[in-house]
């Protein structure tokens, strides 16, 4: 059979579609024969073609992974020596890797103790005097430990002693690489003993990665992920070596001869360390070193004849530019992280001597760096800038808007947009100076220059959104400009930007926009009934702006359009498959619920159905497969399509998957679906009750979702469900409604309180505190009927105020000044805990009081 199988596999590798289809059918028939696995093992051991050998190894592994329990005991035992023999005689790396993965699958089912020959092989080959054998030994070890880490825990101490040796095998970079990969896998499983063994390994780790950089930068970049794992799981290991690690990363980042990926990875490590150990960064006087590396990177001009990506005339969103993965862009993000986690006075004292000369420089890229520095300071240092620097910084930006260099003007627009986003309402005081500049600038841009137009609209939109009545003198000019763009522009990008800007203008102007309302609605309706692909982004933005108008123009004005808007939104969801469009439609539905309230009842069944589908959907999730295996996955699916696979076996089929990613649009869709359902429940009251249980169950299920923004929205929504059910119970106090309300609280509050204590992300905890405050404010003493609940809430708030929660980093460094202790924790406690309305939790059920 082996000879026939080898011929079939060979035909599958030929560039002939008909031959491949024929061979696939033949292979499918061959897999019905129980002797197929031994035959493939024979091919693995004897075929002269490395592609065929790899093909055989992958097919055996996939077969073993899916059908382990169905294999005979003899076959399982006979497979083990074949694998080890193949590893000994194989010289092709890809084949070795596939065989090592086959070994890992066997270990996953058998455990290492049931395969002592494997452990003996690893011990002998990792300590061999032959360099190539050490490579094979470490490849095998890293592969089996990565897939079955838990089963190797009893061997961790032994492995740590081995790693101390293999990290010093500098003449054998692959041994070093596989060692670090294995280390990365075990970090999150280590106990105290292993932590103590690993701590002195850090200096060796730095030297090893430096060695890898000289041989293979991609492998070195991957190896640096060990620091990510250490920072996530065992940050105490690296605290004594913080200065060494920071300087190591800075040296890599500063080396312009290295590739962007490894430099960005190094900057990412520095950024993560700042987030986790900002106080230690200050205490160990690492800030000057960090800034002295970052600033030259930010000031560096692009290669001759090229431009930085954000200065090209592209139509990408501003957010896309901020996330660009180049050393220059990431350096700005590191300064952003410094602003968020260090005392502003200390940061400004070190950054200003670099920023001021740059702003005065004759070099446009140095002026740009100065403006970008100001831009990324806006969020983290907002209060400090308001008090001491707002006027001079705005003066710099306004001057830069007239700079002769487009590069500098772009940076000024971005900085102004950032200040407008994070420094409200103070920045609005300068509207008389800034608005004429922005309007004049907008009028001078060539509309065909999409990228520059985007930056101008970004600054304008952020600035006008919070102007309130101060926008009224500029309203005629603004609306004339926007309506002209909608009616006359041939650029869909300009139309999209104008529609978005109208939403921002409406947020500020509210009823003052009424004279322009009809003209705007005519344009928006035109986009919403046109389902052509080229207008998709304009259509999506129209839905968002329509929702803003529903909230701001006044209920009486918008009410006659509400039913039509509901139908438009539902019709779009039916006919257009686009996560961004669905997201904006859900936001529109939430806004319409403010206008029509319970009258939304006829549409709730369809609306809740589509939103729950978005919440439950796995669309947009991409599995990433091992490079050596993904070639064969499509064929393997064909082979198994007629077989029944148990759920347990299906889980084992994930051996090839190295990770998952989710497109941002689908995450945003889930987030907005949660937000919309929570708001609709509150606004529609009793009409929402038939859908309450299902909606609550699905959203409560994703409160532990991996993505922070989805978790935040889920926690907020379940709080709104509590408020909605309480309101219904007050209007109709039946036993069913009152019991349902208490049942909801009995699930929500324990979840809230546990997450406040255990959650690592501060933003999630902040959202829960706000949501819990809202529930208590609306539901008063009835939310505290459960015995012990008041004490539990008070304990949680006390822990926050005393900075004893996980997200407030209880592992603070030894001795810190009072000023250093205030950083991070002060923002968190001051902005959220002390704003928690304690009167809400003091109203016991026996002493109800209207708030």
With 0-12 / 13-18 / 19 or more C-beta atoms within 10 angstroms meaning exposed / middle / buried, residue 622 is: exposed
Q: What is the mean pLDDT of residues 663-682?
A: 93
Residue 15, phi then psi, degrees to nearest 5: -80, 55
User: Residue 316: what pLDDT?
Assistant: 52
Q: Residue 656's pLDDT is what?
A: 55
Collapsed DSSP state (helix, strand, coil) of residue 658 = strand
Residue range 207-231, pLDDT digits in tens: 999 999 999 999 999 999 999 999 9
Q: What pLDDT is stored for residue 622 in this prediction?
A: 61
Is pLDDT above 70 for 460? yes
How are beta strands 621-625 and 657-662 bridged, if at all? antiparallel
Identify the DSSP state of 285. Answer: T
DSSP SS3 for 316: coil
pLDDT in tens, 66-86: 888 888 899 989 999 999 999
Spatial separation of the C-alpha atoms in residues 651 and 751, rounded to whole Å: 28
Does residue 813 sit in helix, strand or coil?
Answer: coil
Structure tokens at 670: 């889930």
pLDDT at 641 over 80: no
Provide mean pLDDT across the span 487-491: 86
Answer whether 394's CB lies under 8 Å from 432's CB: no
Mean pLDDT of 169-178: 95
Average pLDDT over residues 615-637: 60
Give long-range contacts, CB 8 A cutoff, 24+ apart: 9-18.
9/43, 9/52, 9/55, 9/56, 10/49, 10/52, 12/55, 12/635, 13/51, 13/52, 13/55
Q: 33 exposed, middle or buried (CB, 10 Å; 0-12, 13-18, 19+)? A: exposed
- If we measure between CA atoms, which residue out of 329, 264, 263 comes closest to residue 300? 329
- pLDDT for 516 equals 95
Integer angstrom CA distances of residue 320 from 28, 262, 317, 773: 46, 21, 5, 35
Look at residues 508, 488, 499 and name the one whose alpha carbon lies nearest to residue 546: 499
Confidence at residue 17, expressed as pLDDT on a 0 to 100 scale: 86
- The reported pLDDT for the residue numbered 88 is 93
Q: Give mean pLDDT, residues 169-196.
A: 93
Summarised one tens digit per residue, pLDDT across range 427-439 is 999 999 999 999 9
Instruction: Tell me: cis bond preceding 425? Omega within 30 of 0 counts.
Output: yes
Lowest mean pLDDT segment, chosen from 459-463, 657-661, 731-735? 657-661
Cβ burial 185-211 (10 Å sphere, 16+ → b, else e): bbbeebeeebeebbeebbebbbebbeb
Please write the tens of the pLDDT for every residue from 550-604. Answer: 999 999 999 999 999 999 999 999 988 999 999 999 999 999 999 999 999 999 9
Give the least confident one: 280-289, 362-371, 437-446, 569-578: 437-446
CB atoms within 10 A of CB 484: 12
Read off φ and ψ for residue 446, nearest 5 degrees.
-70, 120
Residue 701 has pLDDT above 80, yes or no: yes
User: What values do phi and psi take at 14, rounded to 5?
Assistant: -80, 145
Where helices occur in 423-474 by DSSP H, the ranges are 431-444, 450-464
Task: Quote the pLDDT of residue 840.
Answer: 55
How much of the chain exceeds pLDDT 70, in percent? 88
Check residue 308 and give left, alpha or beta (phi > 0: left; psi -120 to 50: alpha): beta
Q: Which two tokens stand for residue 176?
A: 């070093």
pLDDT above 80: residue 487 = yes
The model's pLDDT over 756-793, given as tens digits with 9 standing for 90+, comes to 999 988 899 999 999 999 999 999 889 998 899 999 99
pLDDT surpassing 90 at residue 324: no
Number of other residues whose CB lies within 10 A of the CB of residue 752: 24
Query: What is 702-713 written as a DSSP string?
Result: TTT-SSHHHHHH
Share the mean pLDDT of the chain: 87
- pLDDT of 193: 85
Q: Which helix (H) or strand (E) holds 657?
A: strand 657-662
pLDDT of residue 651: 46
Is the per-residue pLDDT at 746 higher than 50? yes
The single residue listed with the structure tokens 């790693």 is 163
pLDDT interval class at 631 (50, 70, 90): very low
Whether 28 has a pLDDT exceeding 60, the answer reads: yes
pLDDT at 449: 60
Radius of gyration of the chain (CA): 31
The pLDDT value given to residue 450 = 57
DSSP secondary structure, 149-206, as one string: TGGGGGGHHHHHHHHHHHTT-TT-HHHHHHHHHHHHHHGGG--HHHHHHHGGGHHHHH
Cα–Cα separations (whole angstroms), residue 637 to 624, 648, 655, 658: 16, 17, 14, 18
Environment class of residue 563 by beta-carbon count within 10 Å: exposed (0-12), middle (13-18) or buried (19+)?
A: middle
What distance in Å separates the CA atoms of residue 330 and residue 594, rounded to the nearest whole number?
Answer: 41
């Amino acid at each position: 059979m082996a000879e026939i199988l080898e011929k079939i596999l060979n035909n599958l590798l030929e560039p002939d579609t008909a031959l491949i289809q024929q061979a696939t059918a033949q292979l499918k028939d061959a897999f019905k024969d129980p002797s197929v696995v031994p035959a493939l093992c024979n091919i693995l051991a004897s075929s002269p073609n490395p592609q065929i050998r790899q093909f055989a190894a992958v097919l055996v592994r996939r077969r073993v992974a899916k059908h382990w329990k169905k294999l005979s005991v003899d076959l399982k035992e006979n497979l083990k020596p074949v694998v080890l023999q193949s590893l000994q005689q194989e010289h092709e790396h890809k084949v070795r890797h596939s065989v090592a993965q086959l070994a890992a699958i066997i270990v996953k089912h058998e455990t290492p103790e049931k395969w002592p020959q494997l452990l003996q092989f690893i011990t002998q080959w990792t300590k061999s005097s032959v360099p190539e054998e050490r490579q094979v030994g470490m490849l095998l070890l890293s592969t089996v430990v990565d897939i079955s880490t838990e089963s190797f825990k009893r061997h961790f101490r032994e492995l740590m002693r081995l790693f101390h040796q293999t990290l010093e095998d500098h003449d054998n970079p692959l041994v070093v690489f596989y060692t670090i990969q294995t280390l990365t896998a075990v970090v999150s499983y280590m106990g105290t003993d292993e932590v103590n063994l690993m701590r002195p390994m850090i200096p060796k780790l730095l030297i090893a990665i430096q060695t890898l950089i000289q041989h293979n930068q991609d492998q070195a970049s991957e190896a640096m992920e060990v620091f990510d794992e250490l920072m996530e799981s065992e940050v105490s290991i690296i605290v004594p070596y913080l200065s060494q690690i920071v300087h190591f990363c800075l040296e890599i980042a500063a080396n312009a001869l290295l590739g962007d990926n490894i430099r960005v990875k190094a900057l990412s490590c520095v950024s993560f360390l700042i987030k986790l150990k900002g106080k230690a960064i200050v205490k160990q006087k690492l800030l000057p070193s960090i800034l002295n590396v970052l600033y030259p990177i930010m000031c560096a001009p692009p290669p001759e004849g090229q431009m930085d990506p954000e200065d090209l005339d592209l139509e990408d969103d501003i957010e896309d530019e901020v996330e660009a993965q180049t050393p220059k862009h990431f350096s700005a993000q590191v300064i952003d992280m410094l602003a968020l986690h260090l005392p502003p006075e200390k940061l400004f004292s070190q950054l200003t001597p670099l920023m001021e000369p740059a702003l005065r420089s004759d070099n446009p890229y140095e002026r740009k760096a100065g403006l970008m520095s100001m831009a990324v300071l806006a969020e983290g240092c907002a209060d400090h800038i308001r008090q001491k620097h707002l006027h001079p910084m705005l003066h710099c930006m306004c001057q830069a808007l007239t700079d002769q260099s487009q590069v500098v003007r772009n940076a000024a627009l971005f900085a102004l947009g950032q200040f407008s986003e994070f420094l409200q309402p103070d920045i609005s005081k300068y509207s008389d100076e800034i608005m004429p500049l922005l309007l004049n600038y907008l009028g001078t841009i060539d509309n065909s220059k999409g990228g520059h137009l985007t930056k101008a609209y970004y600054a304008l939109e952020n600035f006008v959104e919070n102007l309130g009545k101060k926008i009224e003198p500029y309203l005629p000019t603004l609306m004339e400009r926007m309506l002209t763009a909608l009616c006359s522009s041939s650029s869909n990008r300009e139309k999209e930007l104008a529609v978005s800007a109208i939403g921002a203008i409406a947020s500020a102007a509210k009823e003052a926009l009424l004279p322009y309302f009809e003209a705007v609605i005519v344009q928006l309706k035109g986009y919403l009934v046109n389902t052509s692909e080229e207008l998709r982004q304009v259509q999506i933005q129209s839905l968002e702006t329509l929702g803003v108008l529903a909230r701001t123009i006044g209920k009486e004005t918008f009410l006659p359009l509400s039913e039509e808007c509901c139908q438009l939104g539902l019709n779009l969801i039916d006919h257009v498959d686009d996560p961004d469009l669905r997201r904006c439609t859900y936001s529109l539905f939430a806004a319409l619920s403010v206008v029509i309230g319970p009258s939304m009842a006829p549409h709730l069944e369809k609306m809740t159905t589509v939103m729950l589908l978005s919440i439950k959907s796995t669309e947009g999730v991409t599995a990433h497969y091992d490079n050596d295996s993904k070639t064969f996955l499509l064929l393997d699916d064909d082979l198994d399509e007629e077989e029944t696979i148990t759920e347990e076996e299906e889980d084992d089929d994930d051996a090839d998957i190295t990770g998952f990613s989710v497109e941002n649009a689908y995450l945003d869709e889930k987030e907005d679906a949660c937000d919309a359902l929570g708001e609709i429940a509150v606004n529609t009251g009793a009409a929402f009750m038939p859908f309450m249980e299902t909606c609550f169950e699905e959203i409560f299920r994703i409160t532990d979702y991996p993505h922070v923004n989805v978790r935040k929205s889920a926690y907020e929504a379940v709080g709104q469900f509590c408020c909605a059910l309480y309101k219904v119970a007050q209007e109709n106090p039946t036993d069913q409604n009152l019991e349902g309300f208490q049942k909801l609280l009995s699930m929500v509050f324990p979840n809230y309180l546990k997450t406040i204590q255990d959650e690592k992300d501060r933003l999630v905890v902040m959202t829960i505190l706000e949501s819990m405050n809202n529930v208590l404010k609306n539901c008063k003493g009835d939310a505290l009927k459960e015995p012990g609940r008041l004490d539990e809430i008070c304990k949680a708030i006390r822990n926050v105020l005393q900075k004893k929660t996980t997200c407030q980093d209880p592992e603070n460094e030894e001795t810190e000044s009072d000023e250093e202790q205030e950083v991070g924790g002060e923002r968190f406690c001051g902005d959220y805990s002390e704003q928690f309305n304690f009167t809400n939790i003091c109203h016991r059920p026996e002493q109800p009081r209207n708030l």
